[in-house]
């Protein structure tokens, strides 16, 4: 066979082989990511709805933390729930997001200034209370910052009311969550 005929056969075969290889590589990456997400979803630290409270266990993962104190029967909580769940799903392994039903288990909120539901409490990955940057403050999200009575040191950042997925993303980015 002439070299032109070989090239006419070889070039399409190489193109198909390269395309098949890329497809297999991408498919393998997708399967790995799905398996990792499934493993994280089974890890108690990454389960969103909680009936117990263990802040130290959450902080041990050294990830940004959002604690949402709400109730299943609460209207505003129901409005926010899809955004909270979507944020939780897309940040598995990158942040810890917890929901506590304080109408069913009021003792879960005894250490926090919960006046209304939903209320969110934020912590940086190192366990320190989140302090919103000027950029986040400009988004007019109305945070309440609490200080220790004795030391005056910042101890807690709280948001009361509904947050949407975009606002959760903004806050998590401000907290240093790696995308």
| CATH H superfamily, domain 43-174 | Glutaredoxin (3.40.30.10)
Per-residue model confidence as pLDDT tens digits over 10-19? 777 778 777 7
Reduced to 3 states (helix: H, G, I; strand: E, B; else coil), residue 128 is coil
Q: How far apart are CA 96 and CA 71, in angstroms?
A: 19
Distance from the Cα of residue 115 to its chain's centroid: 24
Bridge partners of residue 97, in order along the sequence? 66
Residue 27: pLDDT band with limits 50, 70, 90: low
Reduced to 3 states (helix: H, G, I; strand: E, B; else coil), residue 64 is coil
E runs forming strands in 115-174: 119-123, 143-147, 154-160
Per-residue model confidence as pLDDT tens digits over 113-170? 999 999 999 999 999 999 999 999 899 888 999 999 999 999 999 999 999 999 999 9
Q: How far apart are CA 135 and CA 122, in angstroms?
A: 16
Closest CA to 107 of 53, 57, 55: 53
Q: What residue segments make up the domains of the chain, in order of their start?
A: 1-42, 43-174
Q: Are 87 and 137 in contact (CB under 8 A)?
A: no
């Amino acid at each position: 066979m002439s070299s032109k005929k070989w090239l006419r056969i070889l070039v399409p075969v190489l193109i198909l082989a390269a395309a098949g290889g890329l497809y297999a590589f991408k498919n393998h990456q997708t399967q790995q990511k799905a398996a990792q997400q499934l493993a994280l979803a089974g890890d108690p630290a990454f389960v969103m709805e909680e009936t117990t409270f263990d802040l130290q266990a959450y902080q041990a993962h050294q990830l940004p933390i959002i604690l949402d104190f709400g109730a299943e029967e609460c209207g505003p909580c129901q409005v926010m729930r899809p955004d909270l769940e979507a944020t939780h799903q897309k940040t598995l392994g990158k942040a810890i997001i917890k929901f506590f039903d304080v109408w069913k288990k009021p003792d879960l909120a005894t250490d926090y200034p919960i006046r209304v539901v939903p209320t969110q409490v934020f912590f940086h990955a190192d366990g320190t209370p989140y302090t919103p940057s000027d950029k986040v403050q400009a988004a007019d999200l109305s945070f309440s910052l609490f200080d220790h009575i004795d030391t005056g040191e910042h101890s807690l950042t709280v948001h009361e009311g509904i947050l949407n997925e975009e606002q959760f993303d903004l806050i998590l980015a401000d907290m240093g969550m790696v995308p």
